[in-house]
């Protein structure tokens, strides 16, 4: 078993800063780089990003859909890229948004096992079959030191249709956050009453070696933070910097300066390629803005 993901994430952030760069090789971006929409173009794009950034940023976040669309050859590109990124010191968060029940969820979570061909550090998951449906992934993450980021309050235009719906007196988004808070509480299991905030060490108030391994996804472009993250105990993945309208100032407005937030940028960095120096410079600009 490796060190828990939360600890490894805190160490990576301390060494490299909190920036996460998404690897999203969609067709217009391949065309911008002068690459074909084919496994060969996918490999050249991915290799360039990994070679330029895996030694610089804390987290790389490949979106699996852009590799699956090329079949087994695309997944082979992703397998190689994940291994090389981790060897260079970056944590790899697989953006797959998996969600199912029972043995199927268990199979999805296998990517958190160190002997898996696509072994990654963390996985994005969807809780909309009920947070309890993710228990197999929670168990696998705990066993192998992996991490999960659970969709909670996203910033796509119609997200509130479900996320603002009420479960008793709480919104669905808040119920998800509360479930993840429970996972970061020692001894809590699905079905137990939610822990009192006063009984939970607020690990999210700082980056530290004891940051929990279970986090939530909260969009960086929300107009206001309408979920209570106090006592979460784990990190917040905040996608949407750059082309989607998110900014460092917006992150401070939403989350303050004390939380363990992993801001994510994709197109604003990837568009600088294929020159490796330009990719590194674009990532460095965002890292400096976040540090400021």
Question: How many Å apart are CA 261 and CA 205, to the nearest integer?
Answer: 10
Element (H, E) at 98: strand 91-98
Burial 130-157 (b: 16+ CB within 10 A, else e): ebebbbbbbebbbebbbbbbbbbbbbee
Catalytic, 97? Answer yes
Question: How many Å apart are CA 209 and CA 183, to the nearest integer?
Answer: 17
List the end-to-end C-alpha distance of the chain, in Å, as a whole number: 36
Query: Tokens for 117?
Result: 């061909």
φ, ψ (nearest 5 deg) of residue 215: -125, 180
Measured in whole angstroms, how far is the alpha carbon of residue 124 from the centre of its chain? 6
Measured in whole angstroms, how far is the alpha carbon of residue 145 from the centre of its chain? 15
DSSP-derived pairing of the beta strands 236-241 and 261-265? parallel
Query: Tokens for 87?
Result: 């060897």
In three-state secondary structure terms, 255 is helix
DSSP-derived pairing of the beta strands 236-241 and 166-167? unpaired
Alpha helices in the chain (DSSP H): 5-16, 27-32, 39-53, 65-68, 71-87, 102-108, 135-144, 160-163, 172-183, 248-255, 267-270, 276-291
Catalytic pick among 32, 86, 97, 113: 97
Active site residues: 97
């Amino acid at each position: 078993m490796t060190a828990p993901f939360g600890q490894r994430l805190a160490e990576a952030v301390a060494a490299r800063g909190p920036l996460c760069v998404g690897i999203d090789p969609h067709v217009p971006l391949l065309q911008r780089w002068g690459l074909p929409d084919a496994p060969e173009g996918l490999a050249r794009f991915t290799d360039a990003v990994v070679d330029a950034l895996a030694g610089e940023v804390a987290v790389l976040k490949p979106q699996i859909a852009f590799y699956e669309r090329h079949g087994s050859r695309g997944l082979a590109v992703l397998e190689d890229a994940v291994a090389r990124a981790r060897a260079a010191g970056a944590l790899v968060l697989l953006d797959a948004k998996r969600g199912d029940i029972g043995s199927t969820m268990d199979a999805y979570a296998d990517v958190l096992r160190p002997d898996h061909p696509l072994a990654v550090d963390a996985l994005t998951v969807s809780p909309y079959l009920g947070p309890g449906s993710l228990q197999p992934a929670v168990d696998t993450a705990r066993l192998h030191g992996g991490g999960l980021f659970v969709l909670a309050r996203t910033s796509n235009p119609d997200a509130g249709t479900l996320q603002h719906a009420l479960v008793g007196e709480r919104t669905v988004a808040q119920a998800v956050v509360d479930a993840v808070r429970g996972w970061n509480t020692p001894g809590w299991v699905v079905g137990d009453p939610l822990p009192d905030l006063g009984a939970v060490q607020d690990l999210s108030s700082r980056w530290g070696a004891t940051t929990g391994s279970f986090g939530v996804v909260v969009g960086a472009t929300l107009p206001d933070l309408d979920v209570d993250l106090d006592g979460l105990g784990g990190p917040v993945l905040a996608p949407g910097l750059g082309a989607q309208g998110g900014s460092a100032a917006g992150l401070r407005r939403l989350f303050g300066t004390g939380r363990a937030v992993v801001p994510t940028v994709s197109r604003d960095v990837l568009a600088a390629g294929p020159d490796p120096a330009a990719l590194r410079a674009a990532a460095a600009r965002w890292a400096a803005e976040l540090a400021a």
